[in-house]
Amino acid sequence: MRVRIFALLFSVFSFVSLSHAQDNVHDRSDWGNIFNEFDAQGTIVVADERINIQSTSVYDENRAKKRYSPASTFKIPHTLFALNAGAVRDEFQVFKWDGVVRDFAPHNQDQDLRSAMRNSVVWVYELFAREIGEARARDYLRKLNYGNADPSTKHGDYWIDGNLAISAYEQITFLKRLYKNQLPFRVEHQRLVKDIMIVEAGRDWILRAKTGWDGKMGWWVGWVEWPTGPVFFALNIDTPNRMADLPKREAITRAILRSIEALPPNPSVGTR
């Protein structure tokens, strides 16, 4: 009973906190110029928590509130689930390739946790999902208050083809808790997940992020760490041209982050 009451109170608190945060956002309609430059329709939320800034900005707030499939951005919480359930021991455990040739060459080899995250290797996370099971996944999702917390699916993977859905605002809320090691999982597991999320780094900054794509819509979510504080971001865009549109996720986000000096000028631009 106490657990249920706590879960209810936490959900209410999270909803109130999120609503309050959305009441204090800055509309950045001007970022539409960057989306237009890349011929893309989408949204981005940026929560800048650097000292003397402390602001949240959004382009297309209505879309930022809309829930979509998390696709491979779900590998962030899914890794925590797998570690907690014992589906993977650590970042060194090797998962043998099953011999099935897939479209993306890096998927066609043995994997560990780091490579599975970096290359978005779906078959590794399908192994995790089978071992975790739907009931335990649902319990984890509810504890996280992750989107609609619904892991059911009629076909395919629930984080891509199923009912699980999350908004850009909710992605930001989740990422902030992970950054602060405030999720209901072991701290060492949260730190490991953050370590394997590293995309690139400079002398005084670190970019941690994850892409996602469900075939129709693509994500890029994460944060940039600075000595003065983190800058969180969650972008999603439509991908009518499918794989041809995928580089736009990072390109748009990087352009916006550079415009607010949350990334150094002209960093390398990833394409997957």
Please give the Cα distance from 219 to 234 (Å, whole number).
7
DSSP secondary structure string, 226-269? ETTEEEEEEEEEE-TTGGGGTHHHHHHHHHHHHHTTSS-SS---
CA 50, distance to chain mean position in Å, is 20
Please give the Cα distance from 4 to 100 (Å, whole number).
43
Residue 55 is a catalytic residue: no
Catalytic residue among 55, 57, 72, 120: 72
Please give the Cα distance from 128 to 83 (Å, whole number).
9
Which DSSP category does 72 fall into?
G
Owner of token pair 């607010």:
260
Catalytic site positions: 72
